[in-house]
Structure 1
Amino acid sequence: MYYGKIIGGVLGLLVLGPIGLILGLIVGHLFDNGLMQTLKFASPQNIARIKQSFFETTFLLSGYLAKADGHISRQEVDHTEAVIAQMGLNAEQRKRAIELFKRGSAADFQPEPAISAFMEICRGQRQLCQTLLFFLISLALADHKIEAAERQALQRLATGLGFNAAQLEQMLRMAQAQGHFHGSSGFEAQPGTRLEDAYTALGVDPDVDDKTLKRAYRKLMSENHPDKLIARGVPEDMIKLATERSQEIQAAYEMIKKSRE
């Protein structure tokens, strides 16, 4: 690909003469290389690799997290089973997911190699790492509480994925608050939900102005948009989980809007 070199060289020559030609060729070369890398990363083959890595890493780390406090609770098993059922996996995929979960829950499992492999394949895409971490947080919250060992394990995973302690705490608060807008009857504020929970679900303060509120809401909805997640490499089978989060966010936003009318 030579478009960058050609354009850069011509513009450089017209503006600065021979020296500009050289500088333009250098800049154009860098542009061409960056464009090639972007196209290669977004290729169907590479996206397929990311999807496979996302799937495998999710269940490996889910097993590790579930066993972090020394035992796997009934709620954690049920949550994992619900995730597998919701994903609509076939028999082979289900077997693979359970194998990965068991491997991650083994006493000698170390999560860092799995995280490093995932980060290398996805090139540390921030949004992809955040989506994975939110999936893991939902598992940790399956029994509606987080033990000290679970929190420590979550921080270990978050650090590997590029998130510090403060960022993890913010995500935990948001995930817990979003859970107030998901019940057996659908996605709406559950009994006992406070307006403060709605603001926390969106990651904003109660005194935020309308413009900032809408911007935060739109950002969260964009981050969980199915088409964007699929394009980044989240497996289609796991999109349903992100869609649920979008509906929780929507319900929280509606509660705030009504309070401001």
Structure 2
Amino acid sequence: MFYGKLIGGVIGLLVLGPIGLILGVIVGHLFDNGLMQTLKFASPQNIARIKQSFFETTFLLSGFLAKADGRISEQEIAHTEAVFTQMGLNAEQRKRAIEFFQRGAAADFQPEPAAAAFIEITRGQRQLCQTLLFFLISLALADHRIDDAEQAALQRIATLLGFSAAELAQFLRMAQAQDHFHGSAGYAAQPGTSLEDAYEALGVSADVDDKGLKRAYRKLMSEHHPDKLIAQGVPEDMVKLATERSQEIQAAYEMIKKSRGG
């Protein structure tokens, strides 16, 4: 690919003469390299590798997290079974997911190699790492509480994925608040849900202005958009779970809008 070098060289020549030609070719070369890397990353073959890595890493770290407190609770088993059902896994996929989960739950399992491999394959894309972390947070919240061992395991994983303790704390608050907008009858504020829960679900404070509120809402909806997640390499079956968050976020936003007379 040479279009960047050609265009950069021509522009440089017209603006600065021979020296500009050289500078333009150098800048164009850097552009061409960056474009080639982007196209290579977005290739069907590479997206397939990312999907496989996302699937494997999710269940490896799910097993590690579930066993963090010394035992896998009935709620965590039920949550994992619900994930299998929601994803619509076939028999072979289910078998693989269970194998990865059991490997992650083994006493000698260390999350560092799994996280490092995921980072390498995905180039550490923040959105993919955040989506993976939210899957794990949902598992940790399956029994509606997080003990010290689970908190430590989550923080260990979050750090490996590039998130600070403060960011993890916010993600946890948001996930817990978003759960208030998902019940057996659908996506709406559940009994006992407060307006404070709605703001927390969107990750904003109650004094945010309308413009800031809408910006936060649109950002979250964009992050959970199915087409965007699939394009980045989240497996289609797992997108079903990720997009549930968008419906919870929508319900929280509607509650706030109604309270503001919008």
Query: What TM-score, normalized to structure 1?
Result: 1.00
Find out whether 1:48 has 2:48 as its counterpart: yes
Partner of 2:132: 132
Partner of 1:158: 158
Q: Pairwise mapping of residues 125-204 of structure 1 onto structure 2 (< 5 A)?
A: 125-204=125-204
Aligned-partner residue type, residue 45 of structure 1: Q
CA distance in 1, matches of 2:106, 2:93: 20
CA distance in 1, matches of 2:74, 2:115: 26
Shift of 1:37: 0.3
Secondary structure of 1:57's aligned partner? helix
Partner of 2:260: 260
Q: Pairwise mapping of residues 1-261 of structure 1 onto structure 2 (< 5 A)?
A: 1-261=1-261
CA distance in 1, matches of 2:22, 2:51: 41
Aligned-partner residue type, residue 50 of structure 1: I
CA deviations 1:188-207 (Å, max 9, x no partner) are 10100000000000000001
Shift of 1:184: 0.7
Query: What TM-score, normalized to structure 2?
Result: 0.99
CA distance in 2, matches of 1:88, 1:173: 29
CA deviations 1:115-157 (Å, max 9, x no partner) are 0000000000000000000000000000000000000000000
Secondary structure of 1:141's aligned partner? helix
Aligned-partner residue type, residue 89 of structure 1: L
Shift of 1:230: 0.1
Consecutive unaligned residues in structure 2, runs of 5 or more: none
Aligned-partner residue type, residue 100 of structure 2: L
CA deviations 1:238-259 (Å, max 9, x no partner) are 0111111000000000000110
Consecutive unaligned residues in structure 1, runs of 5 or more: none
Aligned-partner residue type, residue 57 of structure 1: T
CA deviations 1:144-188 (Å, max 9, x no partner) are 000000000000000000000000000000000000000111111
CA distance in 2, matches of 1:172, 1:257: 23
Aligned residues: 261
CA distance in 1, matches of 2:216, 2:181: 17
- The alignment-based identity, stated in percent, is 84
CA distance in 2, matches of 1:24, 1:240: 46
Q: CA RMSD in A?
A: 0.4
